[in-house]
Amino acid sequence: MEFSWDVIACLGLAVLVHVLVYIFVMQKRAKSIDGRHVVVTGGSSGIGISLAIECVTKGAHVTIIARDEKKLKAAVDRMELVRQRPDQKLQYRSLDIGGDYEEVARVLAETEVTVGPIYALLNCAGMAICGVFENVSVRDVHKLMNVNFFGSYNCTRHVLSKMKRAREGIIVFTSSQAAMFGIYGYGPYAASKYALRAMAETIAMESREHGVSVTLALPCDTNTPGFEEEEKSKPRETKIISGGGGLLKPEDMAKAILQDALKGNFVSIVGAESWLITMLGGGLLPWDGFFTNLLHALVIGPLRLFAYGLHKYFNSIIRKCAKEDRSGDKVEAK
């Protein structure tokens, strides 16, 4: 994939200007979660436990929720290592948040009795099952939607009205770069993450005037147990397309998510590649700040050339793999 030097220079200038605008214009004062109750779903591993640990270091009372009780106990032990004071409350609940809403509401209400009102809900529970669209079973598609969408929906439905009445609160939805544009092999998974993105945008618009801030986290490939499972079901084409960006550490993504959430930023991303894809795929996302939006208006035209080249590159990978598969079939037939 070749670009002219003019396009490359334009991309470099766009990134530089964006960084300068962020440093000198967009810095916001972060909220404090010291002594507040934070709930982290998917908190037994990956980005979830990293976020929980970050919250503990900031003095929050933290409840983590997942299904595997053994992993939850081990996660709480890790949280105990960074406890800031003796009266800090650290606990877990084993729960299928994508199941019955009434049960989810009951358990969350129970945690509020023991720890206090939920000030921040960090929705991190998620999973990935990859495959060519028609090869992913109906059962797996329902599983993806239950974990990725309905888990966040159920928890958010319980806390949102209470946060609005209190006129304060933070909600994080952990989506994916796959919510920016569809990629080969990610069909049902991407659909579940697009749904999260839409829910986050809607709730942000409905809740801003009630003092509730919403952050949409859009992590790229992150080195987590979930990613290891994802790799097992990825088609060869998907591995090649997504393999060039490297792996992010969950601790780095967690730091970025919490920082953006506490500053009230809607979008949370890490890295130049994620910024480019998010800007191109999320033209109507509510980016914060006039100068950031002005920058986007100036550079999004030239970046369309980048998007065109990216799609051409992806399609060339798919054609190459298909040609190799056909050649392999011919050899086997002989």
For position 92, what pLDDT does the model report?
97
For position 188, what pLDDT does the model report?
95
Average pLDDT, the chain: 89
Judge whether 31 counts as a catalytic residue.
Answer: no
For position 1, what pLDDT does the model report?
41
Active-site pick, 175, 192, 213, 268: 175
For position 302, what pLDDT does the model report?
82
User: What is the residue-level pLDDT of the chain in tens, covering all 334 positions?
Assistant: 444 666 566 667 666 666 665 555 456 688 999 999 999 999 999 999 999 999 999 999 999 999 999 999 999 999 999 999 999 999 999 999 999 999 999 999 999 999 999 999 999 999 999 999 999 999 999 999 999 999 999 999 999 999 999 999 999 999 999 999 888 999 999 999 999 999 999 999 999 999 999 999 999 999 898 888 888 889 999 988 887 667 899 999 999 999 999 999 999 999 888 888 888 888 778 877 777 778 778 888 888 888 888 889 889 999 999 988 887 665 565 5
For position 320, what pLDDT does the model report?
92
CATH of the domain spanning 30-283, picked from 3.10.150.10, 1.20.1340.10, 3.40.50.720, 1.10.3720.10: 3.40.50.720
> CA 59 → CA 82, 88, 109, 205, distances in Å?
10, 7, 22, 29
Cα 227 to Cα 177: distance, rounded to the nearest angstrom: 14
Q: Tokens representing 316?
A: 């060339």
For position 308, what pLDDT does the model report?
87
For position 19, what pLDDT does the model report?
63
Active-site pick, 92, 184, 189, 194: 189
Judge whether 313 counts as a catalytic residue.
Answer: no
Q: What is the pLDDT of residues 56-100, one digit of tens each?
A: 999 999 999 999 999 999 999 999 999 999 999 999 999 999 999
Cα 86 to Cα 315: distance, rounded to the nearest angstrom: 56
Q: Tokens representing 178?
A: 């796959």
Question: Sign of the CA dihedral 90, 54, 242, 146?
Answer: positive
Active-site pick, 58, 71, 193, 234: 193
Cα 109 to Cα 75: distance, rounded to the nearest angstrom: 22
Sequence-distant (≥ 6) Cβ neighbours of residue 95 within 8 angstroms: 65, 66, 67, 103, 104, 107
Tell if the pTM clears 0.85, that is, is over it. yes
Backbone angles phi, psi at 66, to 5 degrees: -160, -175
3-state secondary structure the chain: CCCCHHHHHHHHHHHHHHHHHHHHCCCCCCCCCCCCEEEEECCCCHHHHHHHHHHHHCCCEEEEEECCHHHHHHHHHHHHCCCCCCCCCEEEEECCCCCCHHHHHHHHHHHHHHHCCEEEEEECCCCCCCCCHHHCCHHHHHHHHHHHHHHHHHHHHHHHHHHHHHCCEEEEEECCHHHCCCCCCCHHHHHHHHHHHHHHHHHHHHHHHHCEEEEEECCCCECCHHHHHHHHHCCHHHHHHHHHHCCECHHHHHHHHHHHHHHCCCEECCCHHHHHHHHHHCCCCCCCCHHHHHHHHHHHHHHHHHHHHHHHHHHHHHHHHHHHHHHHHHHHHC
Q: Is 45 in contact with 226 (CB distance < 8 Å)? A: yes
Judge whether 249 counts as a catalytic residue.
Answer: no
Cα 109 to Cα 113: distance, rounded to the nearest angstrom: 7
